[in-house]
C-alpha cells in the first residue's frame, strides 16, 4: 500500500497548531485577574482553529485522495524522526470534529469563575495534542501528541471536577498511561523491525517490511494500548468514572475527542502499519466490541447518576466503532469513522446540556430531577436531541454510522451483529427512560426559579445541534471524504 503525498504551499496544518500555541502563550501572559480577556482570547483562537479546520475540509481534493497539505522538516536526523504532518480522509473529519468541540467547549465554559487562567491554558495544551495527533505522520510525534493530550487531564479533572474527582482523575491518568506503556514499545518495535531507521508512517506502510508475526505482536499491543483510551471493553472502567468527575468542557472534549484518539490510533498506527495483524485479531476485536455494546447498555440501564448514564452510553457507542473496524470491510471502516465523528458531536452536546443542569440544580441524580422541560425548556430540548441522536433516530448523524456498521457487521458476523443490535435496543430503552424521568413528569418545585440556558449560551449548543442535523441529512459529505482514505486502505 503506497499513498500519494502532496506537499502544501502554505503550512495550514502547522498554523492550526500555532493557533493553539499562540493562544496558550497569550493566556499565560495575561494576568490571572483579567478573566474576561482570557475568555475572549480562548474564544478567538479556538474559533480560528475551527475556521482553519473547515477550510481544510473543504479544500481537500477528494478526486486526488491520498495525503494532502503535507509539510515536513527533519527533526532528529540521527533517529530518522521528522516533523511530518498531512491530512487524509480519516484525519480531516477528526480535525473538523476537534475544531467544533474545542470551540463549543470554550464557549460552554464562559461562566467559569474559579482559576480561569489555568483552566483555559490546560485546555489549549490538551487540544494542541489532539490536533497534533490527528495530523501527524511520524510515529514519534504521534506518541508525543498522544501524551501531550493526556497529562493535562489529571489537573483538569482533579481541580475543576466534581464527584470523587481525585479518584477519577488518578484512575483515568494511570489507565491511559498504562496504555502508552504498550504503545511506546510497540512503536519502537515497529520501527526497529522495519530496519529502515525512520519513524515516517507512509514509508513504513510499504508492504512486506514486517513479517506477519511481527505485525500480530505489534497490532495486539497497539490495539490494547490505544483501545484503553477508546474505552474498549474490558479496559473501559476509567471512562464513566472519569467522565462523571470531569467538569463540563473537559467531559465534552474528553468523550467527544479524546476517546476518538484511541480509535484513531488503532486505525492510523495499528491498521495502517499492521494490516495482517488486523486480520489476525479481527475476531477478538469483534467479540470485545460486542461485549462493550451490550455491557455498556446494560450497566447504563441501572445508573442513577445522569453523567454515569452518558458515560456508559459512550462505552456502548464506542463499541460500535470497534465493531466497524473489526469487520475488515470497506463499509465497516467507513461506518466506524463516521460513528467516531457523530458520537463526538453527540456526547459534546450531551455533556454540555447536563453540565448546565448540574451547574444550576447541583444534582446529577436522576431521581432528584423531573419536569425539566418546563423549568428549563432549552436545556431539556438539547438534552432530548442528544438522547435521540444517541438512540440513532434517522436524519440525525449517528443513524448513518450505526446503520452502515451494523449492515456490514451482520454480513460478516451474523450472530455478533444481531447481539449488538440487541444491545442498541437496550441503550435506546435507557436513554428514553432517562429522558422521561428527567425532562417530563411533575416539575420539582425547588428548581422552579432556576435560570434556563441563556440565549447567548445556546449558541455553542446550537452549533452542535446544527452539525448533527446537517450530517444527518447529508451524510454523503462525510462518507465521501472518509471513503477517499478507506479505498486506498483496501487497495
Partner 1 sequence: MAWANFIPELSMLTAVAVFLAMACLPPHSRRNYWAALVLSGLSVVLSVTHLSSQGVLFNNAYQVDLYSQLFKALLSIGFFLVVFLCRELKGVALHRHSECYLLLSISTLAMMVLVSSVHLLAIYVALELSGYSLYVLVFLRREERWGLNAGFKYFMVGICASAIMLFGLALIYGATGELVLKDLAQLPSPMMTHAMVVAGVLMTLGGFFFKLAVFPFHFWAPDAYEGAPNQVAAFISTASKVAAVAVLVRVVAAFQGMEAILPKGLIIVAIVSMTVGNLAAIGQKDFKRLMAFSSIAHAGYLLLGILCMSFQGYAGSMFYVAAVLVMKLTCFMVMIKVAQDGRNLQIKELAGLHQRSPLLALALMMALFGLAGIPPTIGFAGKLLIFKAAIDKGYLLLVVIAMINVVISLYYYLQVLKAAYLDSAPEDQPVLTLSFPDRMLAILLVGVIVAVGFYPAPLLELVYAAARGLP
Enter the C-alpha cell of residue 103.
470551540
CB nearer to partner 1: pick between 156 and 244: 156
CB nearer to partner 1: pick between 100 and 274: 274
CB nearer to partner 1: pick between 139 and 387: 139
Is residue 140 close enough to count as binding partner 1 by CB under 8 A? yes
Is residue 67 close enough to count as binding partner 1 by CB under 8 A? no
Q: For residues 346 and 259, give the distance between their C-alpha atoms in angstroms, rounded to a whole number.
A: 13
Q: Which of 182, 320, 369, 481 binds partner 1 (CB under 8 A)?
A: 182
Pick from 35, 42, 217, 189: which is nearest to 112 by CA? 35
Enter the C-alpha cell of residue 118.
489555568
Q: For residues 352 and 457, give the distance between their C-alpha atoms in angstroms, rounded to a whole number.
A: 10
Q: How far is the CB of 159 from partner 1 (least distance, A)?
A: 6
Is residue 473 close enough to count as binding partner 1 by CB under 8 A? no
* Largest Cα span, the chain: 69
Query: Are 284 and 232 contacting, i.e. CB atoms less than 8 angstroms apart?
Result: no
Q: Which of 5, 37, 170, 421 binds partner 1 (CB under 8 A)?
A: 170
| DSSP tag of 81 | E
Residue 41 burial by Cβ neighbours in a 10 Å radius (0-12, 13-18, 19+): buried
Q: E strand or H helix at 423, and its extent?
A: helix 414-439
Q: How far is the CB of 185 from partner 1 (least distance, A)?
A: 5
Is residue 212 close enough to count as binding partner 1 by CB under 8 A? no
Q: What are phi and psi of 71, to 5 degrees?
A: -150, 145
Q: For residues 369 and 363, give the distance between their C-alpha atoms in angstroms, rounded to a whole number.
A: 8
Q: How far is the CB of 438 from partner 1 (least distance, A)?
A: 31
Q: Residue 85: helix, strand or coil by DSSP?
A: strand
CB nearer to partner 1: pick between 222 and 485: 222
Q: How far is the CB of 359 from partner 1 (least distance, A)?
A: 21
CB nearer to partner 1: pick between 225 and 324: 225
Is residue 273 close enough to count as binding partner 1 by CB under 8 A? no
Is residue 188 close enough to count as binding partner 1 by CB under 8 A? yes
Enter the C-alpha cell of residue 287.
467479540
Q: Which of 5, 18, 159, 450 binds partner 1 (CB under 8 A)?
A: 159
Query: Are 177 and 150 contacting, i.e. CB atoms less than 8 angstroms apart?
Result: yes
Is residue 177 close enough to count as binding partner 1 by CB under 8 A? yes
Q: Which of 17, 101, 148, 310 binds partner 1 (CB under 8 A)?
A: 148
Interface size with partner 1, residues (CB under 8 A)? 31
Query: Are 324 and 408 contacting, i.e. CB atoms less than 8 angstroms apart?
Result: yes
Q: For residues 389 and 395, give the distance between their C-alpha atoms in angstroms, rounded to a whole number.
A: 9
Interface region with partner 1, contact rule CB under 8 A, candidates 73-81, 265-273, 298-306, 427-435: 73-81
Q: Which of 69, 154, 264, 341 binds partner 1 (CB under 8 A)?
A: 154
**Contact residues: partner 1, CB under 8 A:** 75-79, 118, 140, 143-144, 147-148, 151, 154-155, 158-159, 166, 170, 173-174, 177-178, 180-182, 184-185, 188-189, 191-192
Amino acid at each position: 500500500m503506497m499513498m500519494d503525498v502532496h506537499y502544501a504551499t502554505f503550512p495550514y496544518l502547522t498554523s492550526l497548531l500555532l493557533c493553539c500555541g499562540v493562544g496558550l502563550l497569550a493566556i499565560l501572559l495575561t494576568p490571572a485577574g483579567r478573566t474576561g480577556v482570557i475568555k475572549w482570547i480562548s474564544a478567538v483562537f479556538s474559533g480560528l482553529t475551527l475556521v482553519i479546520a473547515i477550510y481544510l475540509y473543504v479544500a481537500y481534493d477528494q478526486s486526488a485522495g491520498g495525503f494532502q497539505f503535507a509539510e515536513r522538516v527533519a527533526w532528529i536526523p540521527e533517529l530518522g524522526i521528522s516533523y511530518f504532518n498531512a491530512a487524509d480522509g480519516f484525519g480531516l473529519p477528526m480535525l473538523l470534529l476537534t475544531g467544533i468541540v474545542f470551540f463549543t467547549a470554550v464557549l460552554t465554559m464562559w461562566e467559569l469563575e474559579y482559576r480561569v487562567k489555568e483552566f483555559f491554558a490546560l485546555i489549549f495544551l490538551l487540544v494542541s495534542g489532539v490536533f497534533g495527533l490527528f495530523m501527524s505522520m511520524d510515529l514519534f510525534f504521534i506518541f508525543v501528541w498522544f501524551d501531550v493530550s493526556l497529562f493535562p487531564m489529571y489537573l483538569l479533572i482533579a481541580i475543576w471536577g466534581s464527584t470523587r474527582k481525585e479518584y477519577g482523575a488518578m484512575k483515568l491518568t494511570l489507565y491511559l498511561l498504562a496504555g502508552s506503556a504498550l504503545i511506546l514499545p510497540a512503536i519502537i518495535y515497529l520501527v526497529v523491525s522495519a530496519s529502515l531507521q525512520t519513524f515516517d508512517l507512509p514509508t513504513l506502510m510499504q508492504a512486506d517490511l514486517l513479517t506477519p508475526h511481527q505485525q500480530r505482536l505489534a497490532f495486539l499491543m497497539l490495539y490494547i494500548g490505544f483501545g484503553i483510551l477508546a474505552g474498549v471493553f474490558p479496559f473501559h472502567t476509567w471512562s464513566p468514572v472519569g467522565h462523571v468527575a470531569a467538569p463540563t468542557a473537559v467531559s465534552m472534549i474528553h468523550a467527544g475527542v479524546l476517546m476518538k484518539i484511541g480509535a484513531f490510533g488503532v486505525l492510523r498506527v495499528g491498521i495502517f502499519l499492521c494490516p495482517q495483524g488486523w486480520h489476525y485479531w479481527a475476531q477478538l476485536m469483534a467479540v470485545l466490541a460486542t461485549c462493550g455494546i451490550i455491557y455498556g447498555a446494560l450497566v447504563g440501564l441501572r445508573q442513577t447518576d445522569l453523567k454515569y448514564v452518558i458515560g456508559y452510553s459512550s462505552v456502548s457507542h464506542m463499541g460500535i466503532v470497534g465493531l466497524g473496524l473489526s469487520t475488515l470491510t470497506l463499509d465497516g471502516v467507513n461506518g466506524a469513522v463516521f460513528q467516531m465523528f457523530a458520537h463526538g458531536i453527540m456526547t459534546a452536546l450531551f455533556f454540555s446540556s447536563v453540565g448546565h443542569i448540574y451547574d444550576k440544580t447541583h444534582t446529577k441524580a436522576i431521581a432528584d430531577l423531573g419536569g425539566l422541560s418546563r423549568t428549563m425548556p432549552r436545556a431539556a430540548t438539547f438534552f432530548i436531541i442528544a438522547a435521540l441522536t444517541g438512540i440513532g433516530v434517522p436524519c440525525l448523524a449517528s443513524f448513518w454510522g450505526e446503520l452502515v456498521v451494523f449492515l456490514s457487521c451482520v454480513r460478516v458476523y451474523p450472530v455478533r451483529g444481531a447481539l449488538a443490535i440487541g444491545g442498541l435496543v437496550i441503550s435506546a430503552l435507557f436513554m428514553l427512560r432517562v429522558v422521561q424521568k428527567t425532562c417530563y413528569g411533575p416539575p420539582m418545585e425547588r428548581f422552579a426559579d432556576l435560570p434556563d440556558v441563556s440565549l447567548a449560551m445556546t449558541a455553542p449548543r446550537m452549533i452542535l445541534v446544527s452539525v448533527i442535523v446537517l450530517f444527518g441529512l447529508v451524510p454523503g459529505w462525510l462518507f465521501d471524504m472518509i471513503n477517499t482514505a478507506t479505498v486506498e486502505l483496501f487497495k
